[in-house]
Homo-oligomer: A and B are copies of this chain.
Amino acid sequence: MAATSDPVAHAALRAAAQPGQAADAVHVEVSLPGEVADVPVTGEDADGSGEELDDRKRAVLRAIVTEYVSKGEPVGSKRVVDVARLDVSAATVRNEMSALESLGYIAQPHTSAGRVPTDKGYRRFVDDLRTDPALDGPRRELVQELLGGATDVEDLLARTSSVLSQLTRLVSLVIAPAVDTARLKLCELVGLGPGAGLLLLVADTGRVEKRSVELPPETTETDLDRVRTVLAEQVRGRRLGEVNTTITAIAEDAPSELREVLRAVAEATAPRLAEDTVHHVFVGGQASLAGDEAFEREHLSRVLQLIEERVTLARLLADATADDHPTVRIGEENEVEDLRAASLVAQRYQLVTAGSLGVLGPTRMDYATVLATVRAVADQLQATLTDLSR
Q: CB within 8 Å of B: which residues of A?
A: 19-22, 151-152, 155, 185-186, 188, 190-194, 196, 198, 200, 202, 204-206, 208, 210, 212, 214, 274-275, 278, 284-291, 293, 297, 300-302, 304-305, 307-311, 388-390
Partner of A186, one of B151, B190, B214, B308: B190
Task: Other than A200-B200, A286-B308, give 14 A-B pairs with Cβ distance below 8 A.
Answer: A19-B278, A20-B310, A151-B214, A152-B196, A185-B190, A185-B198, A192-B206, A198-B202, A198-B206, A198-B208, A208-B210, A287-B307, A289-B304, A291-B297
Residue on B nearest A286 in the bound complex, by CB: B304
- A152 to B19 alpha-carbon distance, docked (Å): 27
Residue on B nearest A268 in the bound complex, by CB: B151
Partner of A20, one of B208, B278, B388: B278
Q: Shortest CB–CB separation between residue A245 and chain B, in angstroms?
A: 23
Knowing A202-B200, A274-B20, A275-B20 are in contact, say whether A193-B304 is a contact too (CB < 8 A): no
Copies of this chain held together in the complex: 2
- A212 to B210 alpha-carbon distance, docked (Å): 17
Q: Shortest CB–CB separation between residue A137 and chain B, in angstroms?
A: 29
Q: Shortest CB–CB separation between residue A211 and chain B, in angstroms?
A: 9
Q: CB distance A192 to B210 under 8 Å? A: no
Q: CB distance A308 to B287 under 8 Å? A: yes
Residue on B nearest A153 in the bound complex, by CB: B192
Residue on B nearest A283 in the bound complex, by CB: B308
Contacting residues, chain B, for A307 (C-beta < 8 A): 286-287
Q: CB distance A204 to B186 under 8 Å? A: no
Contacting residues, chain B, for A151 (C-beta < 8 A): 196, 212, 214
Q: CB distance B309 to A20 under 8 Å? A: yes
Knowing A200-B186, A290-B301 are in contact, say whether A21-B309 is a contact too (CB < 8 A): yes
Residue on B nearest A210 in the bound complex, by CB: B208
- A193 to B20 alpha-carbon distance, docked (Å): 27
- Among A275, A278, A308, max chain B CB count under 10 A is at A308
Return the 3 tightest CB-CB contacts between A and B, nearest first.
Answer: A287-B305, A287-B304, A291-B301
- A290 to B306 alpha-carbon distance, docked (Å): 13
Q: CB distance A202 to B185 under 8 Å? A: no
Q: CB distance B194 to A185 under 8 Å? A: no
Contacting residues, chain B, for A311 (C-beta < 8 A): 20-21
Residue on B nearest A25 in the bound complex, by CB: B305
Contacting residues, chain B, for A200 (C-beta < 8 A): 186, 188, 200, 202, 208
Q: Shortest CB–CB separation between residue A216 and chain B, in angstroms?
A: 15
Q: CB distance A305 to B22 under 8 Å? A: yes
Knowing A204-B192, A290-B301 are in contact, say whether A308-B22 is a contact too (CB < 8 A): yes
Q: Shortest CB–CB separation between residue A371 and chain B, in angstroms?
A: 25
